[in-house]
Structure formats: C-alpha cells, structure tokens
Structure 1
Amino acid sequence: MYHPQPYPEGGLRANLIVLGSFSAIMGGLGLMNSIGIYQAWISTHQLAHLSDSQISWIFGLYNFLVFFSGIQIGPVFDAHGPRFLMLTGSTLLVLVFVLLGFCHAYWHFVVVLGLLAGLGTSFIFIVPVATIGHYFCVRRGAATGLAMSAGSIGGVIFPLVLENLAPTLGFAWTTRVIGLITLFLLIPGCILLRPRLPPKPASGTALLPDLAILKDPALAVTTLGAFFIEWGFFIPLEYITSYSLTYGIAPRLAYLMVVFLNAGSFPGRWIPGILADRVGRFEMLALTNVLCLVAVLGIWLPADGNVVATIVFAVVFGIGSGSNISLVPVCVGELCPVESYGRFYTTVYTVVSLGALTGVPIAGEIIRRCDGQYWGLIVFAGCAYAAGLMCFVAVILVRGRRKTVDTVDE
C-alpha cells in the first residue's frame, strides 16, 4: 500500500473538506439515488408510448457518463484541484433541473437526463471523494462513507418533494424546486473543497485510461468486481418503483420505495466505512455484497409484489448496496499512490462505466422477454452480485498471499 505521510486525519481544514463534500454529494448524488422515480414518472407520463427497453437507454447513458467522464475529470483534478470542476458540475446539474420541465420527446430526455445529467453528476461523484483522499488515510473509509451517505439523504428528499409537489405544481415546476434545493446544497462544496497536495501536471496521455495499471492482479480483479456490482446496483435503484407499480402496489407507496431504499443506504454507506477502517476495506466490501445477494435472491425474488416483502427488500438492499458507492473508491485508494489517485480511479471507473451503460438496458430487455414480469431481471441482478462477490474474495486472498510472502522475505 502507498501511504505518504503525514495525513491530517482530522482538524478544522480536513473536517471542512468532509462537510463540503457531504453537502455537495447530497445535492449532486441525490439525483442519482432517486433516478428510479424519474424512470417511473416518464414511463407513465411523457414516454408512456415507448417500451421499457427503449426508455432504459436514457438511464443507461446517464449511468455510463457518471463513471466514464472520469477519464477527463481525474487527470484534471490531479493537475488543477477541485474548484473549477465543482463549479462546472454544479452548473450542469442546475441546468438539468431547469430544462427537465421542458422535455417531452424521447431525444429531449436523452440529451437532458442522459447526457447533461450524467456529465454533471460525474463531477460531483468523483471530485469530493478524490479531495477527501488528500486528507485521510487511516480514517479514509469513515470520512468517505460519511460524505457519501449524504447522497442517500438526497435520495430521500428528492422523491418526497416530487411525490408531494408534482400533483399541485406540475412536473416542470417541481423539478425546478428540486433544482433550487440542489443549488443550495452544491454551494458549500464549491467553496470548501481545496486540495492539500501540490498540482501534478498532466502528461500528454493523461486524458486516456492507463490500462497498464491493470497488470496488477489485485487492481484488475477489483475493477472486474466493481463492474459486476454496478450491473447489479442500478437495477433495483432504477426499477423498484416500476416493479411496485406493475405488481399493483399503490402509486404513492410505489414512489416511496426509493425513499425506503435510500433510508437503508444512509447507514449502509457510513457504518461499513467506519468498520472497514478496522476490519479491512475489502473484507467489509465482501460482507456487504453478501447482504446484497441475500436481499436480491432471498427477499426480492420470492416477494412477488408483496408490499411488506418489497419494503423489507428495499431497506435491506439499501443497507448492503450503500458500500457499492462508498467503499470501492477507498479500496482503489489502497492499491495506488495518493498523488496518482485520480488516474487510478479514472481507469477503474472507465471499465466500470461499461457495466453501468449496459446493465439497465439489459434489464429492460429482460422484462420484455419475460412478458412484463420481473423475475428474470431479479435473477440477473443476483448473478451480477454473486460474480462481484467472488472477485472481492479473490482480491482478499491475493493480498493475503502477498503479505505472507513479504513477511517471509523480511
């Protein structure tokens, strides 16, 4: 592991970084964590004449760009710090909420929700986490988990605002209210996030993923595991509301399923981060993936639209899947030097972005082939988590073997 010293591990400046990240992520990732309500809304309103498979590409593009855009964002962060990147991402996200109310045609949603929202979210997904990595090493899991848990709060607030205001204000003005809330939450991040390390000038190939770093078996298998769990993660997040509506759950309660999932995700992002600093980051990631696997195949699959079982699934999956977002960046940080974190993080999530792009459209096509039933989609998500779990267990074994060899050599 690479641990240049000293890290502040706390103090006023480091804690302000966490505070700014917490606020920005609540606004920036609130959209990502409540994206399922937008999928359900436009599927039953503006784009009701289109199939789930067609609509799913809007959200597949969104998920893809959240991760893929890091190809540029990571190296720019290493070279210039967070300020310009935060301002750019914040501007894009606020613009999304202004434009969303004007969208009616399919291509409108592709451009606004798929393209602009994906790009804007990517800035807020990457920059705060990378900045926290400048200030914390021993407590990085706890600090990152706390900041990322804010996205779950946003995922609770935004669906409640949409569900309560849309019937009276209409969809367009409700999204603008959400945009105003987002702007208010992003401002502290733009002000407080500052780098600790000196800038690292970008090389001529900085805007390309450095696939050579995947020669490290531990990093390569970690990347593969992250690919698989992103396949699994976005399916419940984006289809839980549509699933509930399809199986006859009352619309108000169906929209609240995203709230239940994010309520579980709040402790699921923070507490595993605290425990990971003590028991091991990869070990905790593997344990939380076991919980996701149990939730998907043990609760959601046999639920068959039962209200209580669906709510239990949403909460349990939220708890388990929270670490998908908060622990993977920390695990990547264990395998690289901090001054090159942006480059490593970028390369890993370039590969992961392909899973984010294809997972939701595959799920939409599975629904079509299963005649509107969701059992095939659920099995696909469960298999993705099983594959991810095997990858993280393999990384634990590889790293354990390395430590044993290093001890013998000494």
Structure 2
Amino acid sequence: MTTIHDPEKANTPDTLPIPARAISDNSEKSEKPSDLHAASDPGRGLADNGHNASGSNLQEESLAIAPEQEWIPPDGGWIAWSQVLATCLVSMISWGLPTAFGVYQLYYRDALHLSQSKVSWIGSVQFLLTYGMCTLSGRLADAGYIKSTMAVGAFLVVLGTFMTSLGTQYWQFFLAQGICCGLGEGIMFMPPLAVCSSYFTKNRTMALTCAATGTSIGSVIFPAIIQYSIPHVGFGWAVRISGFVALFCTTTAILLIRPRLQPRRSGPLVEWSAFKETAYLLYSVGAFLLYWALFFGSFYINSFARNIIGFSTIDSVQLLLLSNGMSIPARPIIGYIANWHVGVMNTYVTATVFLGTVTLCWIAVHDRAGMYVLSIFFGLGNGVCQGLLLGSLASLTKDSRKMGTRIGVVHTLVAFATLAGPPTAGAIIDSSGGKYLYAQIWAGLTIMVSAALFIGARCVASGPHLRVKM
C-alpha cells in the first residue's frame, strides 16, 4: 500500500511532500497517487527534469505545497461527473425515502388509528439513523471502504423496504421502516459523497448541489408511487415497487463509484479538534437548530391541508409532491449561483432566512390558494437549505481527506435534531387541540436563530465584509 506522507513531518528528508516541479502537466498522471509518490523522490525529480537544485532549495519548494494539493482533482470530465450521478442516485434513496414519510404518516394514522405524534416517531427514528450513521460511514469512507459500505447500506434499505410491505402492526413498521431502512440509508450515504467531493475544487459546490438534487427527485417519486399505487395494487405492492426502485438505483451507484484518494487508515472516528474552530462550532449548532424544525413542513403540510383547510387526502398529497418537486430545478440553479457568483455560505444564509420567513408566513394561510403558494415557496426554501448543507460545510473543510469525517459528525448532530423535531411539532399540535399556530411559531423562530448562527460562522471564517464571496 502506498504510504501517505504526513504534511506535519515535511521537514525530514524521507517525508517530503510532492515537489512542485515533479508534478506532471498530464492531468491523468496527477490523479494517480502511486505516480505522485514516485515523483516525490527528490533525486528522481531532479534527474527527470535535469535540474541541479540544492537540497535546501528543494525542501523550501516542497514546504510551499499545501496538503490538499497532493492529488490534483480533475474538476470535470466523465469520471468526475459520473460520481455526481452515483451520489445523486444514493441521495435519491437515502433522503427521498425518509422525506416521503408524510404520505406514510397519513396511511398509518388512518390504518392504525394512532396519534400524529406516535406515528411520526417512525419517520423521526428513520431520520435519526440516516443522519446518525453518517459519522461511522464517513470514517469508513475516509479509510477506503467505499463500495463495501455502500453495499451493506443498500442491502439494509432494500430489506427494510420489503419488510415494510409485509407489516400490519405499529412495531413492525417501526422496526422495518424506522430502524432497518434508517440504518441502511445512513450507512450508504457518506461514501459516495466523500468520493464525489474529492473529484472537484472550483466546481465542488455545483457538483454537490447537483448530487443533492437526488433528494428532491426521490421525495417526488416515492410519495407518488405510494399514493397512486395503493388504490390499484394495495399498500404492500406499492411499497415493493419502491423497493425495486431502490434496488436499481443503489446497484447502479455502486457500479459507477470510483474512489481516487488514498485511504486515511489512521485517525479518530470523531474529529473533536474540529470543534476548536469557532466557525465549525457555530455552523454545527446552527445546523442542529435548522434541522430541528426543517422537516416540520414535510411531515405536516399535507395533514394541515386536510384537517384545517379541507383538502381531500389525494389533494393534500399533491401539495407535498408540488413542494418537493419545486426544489428539483432550484437546487442546481442555486448551486450554480453559489459556486460562481455569490458564494456558498452567503447563499446558505439567505436561503435559511427565506425558509424561516416562509414558515412564519404559514400562520396567515387560510384557504386553498394560500396552500398552493405556501407549498411552492416552502419547497424552494427547504430544498435549497438541504442542497447547500454539504457545499457550505465543505467550504469550511480545507483537507479533502477529512471531508467524510467532518461532514459525518455534523450529520450525526442533526440526527438528534430530526429525531426530536417532528414529534415536538406533533406534541405541540396535539396539546393545542389540533391547532398548528404554536408549532408554526416554534419552527419559524428556530430556523431564524439557526440563520443567525450561520451568519456568525461566515463572519468568523471570512470576516464581516458582505461583498466577500464565501
């Protein structure tokens, strides 16, 4: 196995980083770690280039090379963008299935005659495990176990989905959909994300945002499958159709994925030192608060439409599909703007404020027209906030080899937020006699506080100047 040199020991002759003159202009060669480490031999580098520089000059030149330049990302090309496609397919399953829980919630509530708060625990546990497993899967991704980790996660997702189709009681749905699917979704999500991020530098935000579009696609496809298949084939086969879609997408993603960085075998599961960085700490707390309230709309917008406005069950599900569908074109467009014009953190702050404002405006909705308008704007804000989470966090991570671990830690933090969020909203609604006012206020203000913390993280990272692209 090729040894990865520690940049902190670059002052010793046997651990010199890659000399700038030894890096070939051929981009294909620069992507291969074996070629780069062969080039890092000072004697060979001098012989190949015909230079007679002294050892001190070579060492001085080597120290100027940043750690993340050990392997230059291609930043484009078929292989790089195929990793975006693979990540998109996995995102479609990992987040599309949990986001579709609003449709399941209506079915479980009617079929099992349970309270909204109790039913929402299935979806909350699913989100908890999807986010919570990201620390483990992120570290496994950094260690090089890419395809095997994805395969285990895909197996659990498909198994849990088919077991859900056989369920008849609350505990069966809880185990199959909440726990088994949640574990699988979290295990398989981080490896393709870490690989995708390693292929890009300048286009990273655009690539990650396009990859996150899979979440929006899945959150439209899976609710539609369940809602419109049940009248024709029943609940069981409707869920099995979702399972076959998940099987196809995950298999394709595993075949497409191609890791390019050398594994980082050593290192902690959780990088606690990251929290010593004020920007990372503020961002993490802000992400926790954002995701505490983020899925309030996804879980309850259709039940609000049916119970308060008077929509039929089918019409209320159409609102959910409309809301989720709006983020499909929004994510790549916003990703392009963030990548090339405004900056990802600036865009993320703006999107969070927008979502908080829309959530508070929900209070004023009292008719069908208002529900359609709310669904459109909520879908835009919610989709952009989810889509920019990865890119904004990546902007605070300088070493690409730690990308999986750092993103995984934040995902684990927000796991507990998503676990508590929907049941908290459900408890507020139930204690208010079925009224949504106090839940809407709670969600809107929580999102606004998270936006303030993101502003703090942005200012710490790049200063208070508004015109700085960050």
Q: Is 1:346 matched with 2:408?
A: yes
Amino acid at match of 1:284: T
Decide which of 78, 99, 122 is 2:163's aligned counterpart. Answer: 99
In 2, the alpha carbon distance for the partners of 1:82 and 1:324 equals: 27
Counterpart contact for 2:158–2:246, Cα < 8 Å: yes
Note if 1:280 corresponds to 2:343: yes
In 1, the alpha carbon distance for the partners of 2:92 and 2:131 equals 18
Task: Select the residue among 318, 322, 339 that pairs with 2:379.
Answer: 318
Distance 2:235 2:355 in 1: 33
Three-state SS of the structure 1 residue aligned to 2:261 is coil
- How big is the shift at 1:318? 1.2
Q: CA deviation at 1:29?
A: 2.5
Contact 1:78–1:202 (Cα < 8 Å) also in 2: no
Q: SS state of the match for residue 198, structure 1?
A: coil
Q: Distance in 2 between matches of 1:397 and 1:155?
A: 34
Which residues of 2 match residues 138-217 of structure 1 at below 5 A?
Answer: 138-203=202-267, 205-206=268-269, 209-217=270-278
Partner of 1:15: 81
Corresponding residue SS for 2:260: coil
1:52 alignment partner in structure 2: 116
Measured in 2, the distance between the counterparts of 1:171 and 1:294 equals: 37
Q: Deviations over 1:25-45 (max 9, x none)?
A: 223332122121111211111
Distance change in 2, residues 1:202/1:44 (3 Å) = farther
Deviation per residue, 1:99-130 (Å, 9 max, x gap): 11222222112211211111122134323222
Task: Name the SS for the 2:392 alignment partner.
Answer: helix
Residue in structure 1 matching 2:432, options 354, 364, 370? 370
Matched pairs, number: 397
Task: Give me the whole-angstrom Cα distance separating, in 2, the residues matched to 1:228 and 1:272.
Answer: 22
* 1:359 and 2:425 are equivalent in the alignment: no
Aligned to 2:54: none
Match of 1:293 in 2: 356
* Aligned mates of 2:374, 2:465 — CA distance in 1: 38
Residue number in structure 1 paired with 2:390: 329
Alpha-carbon offset, residue 382 of structure 1: 0.4
Distance verdict in 2 for CA 1:26–1:351, change over 3 Å: closer
Which stretch of structure 1 is more off in the superposition, 100-109 or 24-33? Answer: 24-33
Q: Please say if residues 209 and 391 of structure 2, whose CA atoms lie closer than 8 Å, have aligned partners that are also in contact.
A: no
Seen in structure 2, the aligned counterparts of structure 1 residues 403 and 245 have a Cα distance that, compared at 3 Å, is closer
1:111-122 correspondence to structure 2 within 5 Å: 111-122=175-186
Shift of 1:166: 0.1
Query: 2:302 is aligned with what amino acid?
Result: T
How many Å separate the matches in 1 of 2:434 and 2:261?
52
Letter in 2 for 1:281: V
Distance verdict in 2 for CA 1:403–1:83, change over 3 Å: farther
CA distance in 2, matches of 1:118, 1:27: 11
1:28 and 1:182 in contact (8 A); partners too:
no
Task: Give the gaps of 5 or more residues in structure 1.
Answer: 405-410
Q: Offset of 1:276 from its aligned partner?
A: 1.3
TM-score normalised by L of structure 2: 0.81
The answer to whether the aligner puts 1:80 opposite 2:144 as a matched pair is: yes
Moved >4 Å (runs of 4+): none
Corresponding residue for residue 408 of structure 1: none
Q: Are 2:103 and 1:42 aligned?
A: no
* Equivalent residue number for residue 407 of structure 1: none
Match of 1:237 in 2: 298
Alignment partner of 2:433: what SS? coil
| C-alpha distance in structure 2 between counterparts of 1:156 and 1:296, whole Å | 21
* Larger Rg computed on CA atoms: 2
Give the one of 293, 299, 303 matched to 2:365.
303
Q: What CA deviation, in whole Å up to 9, does each residue of 1:138-173 have, x standing for no partner?
A: 111111111111221121122222222101211011
Deviates more, 1:98-107 or 1:163-172: 98-107
If asked which structure has higher relative contact order (CA below 8 Å, sep 6+), I would say 1
1:323-362 deviations in Å (ceiling 9; x for gaps): 3222122222222211011111122222222211111111
Correspondence for 1:26: 92
Query: TM-score with structure 1 length normalisation?
Result: 0.92
Sort the Cα spacing of 1:301 and 1:89 in 2 relative to 1 into closer, same or farther, 3 A: same
Tell me how far apart the structure 2 counterparts of residues 318 and 124 of structure 1 sit (CA, whole Å). 25
Partner of 1:131 in structure 2?
Answer: 195
> Take 1:115 and 1:23, find their aligned partners in 2: how far apart are those partners?
21
Unaligned runs of 5+ in 2: 1-65
More displaced stretch, 80-89 vs 382-391? 80-89
1:297 maps to a residue whose letter is: L
How far did 1:363 drift?
Answer: 0.7
Q: CA shift at 1:3, angstroms?
A: 4.8
Compute the displacement of 1:197 (Å): 0.3
Q: Does 1:267 align with 2:319?
A: no
The letter for the 2-side match of 1:288 is A
Q: Deviations over 1:248-306 (max 9, x none)?
A: 211111111221111111123222211111211110001111221221112x21113x2
Q: Give the SS at the match of 1:80.
A: coil
Aligned to 2:448: 386
Q: State the secondary structure of the residue aligned to 2:435.
A: coil
1:68 aligns with 2:132: yes
Query: What is the CA distance between 1:402 and its match in structure 2?
Result: 8.7
1:87: Cα distance to partner?
1.0
CA RMSD of aligned residues (A): 1.9
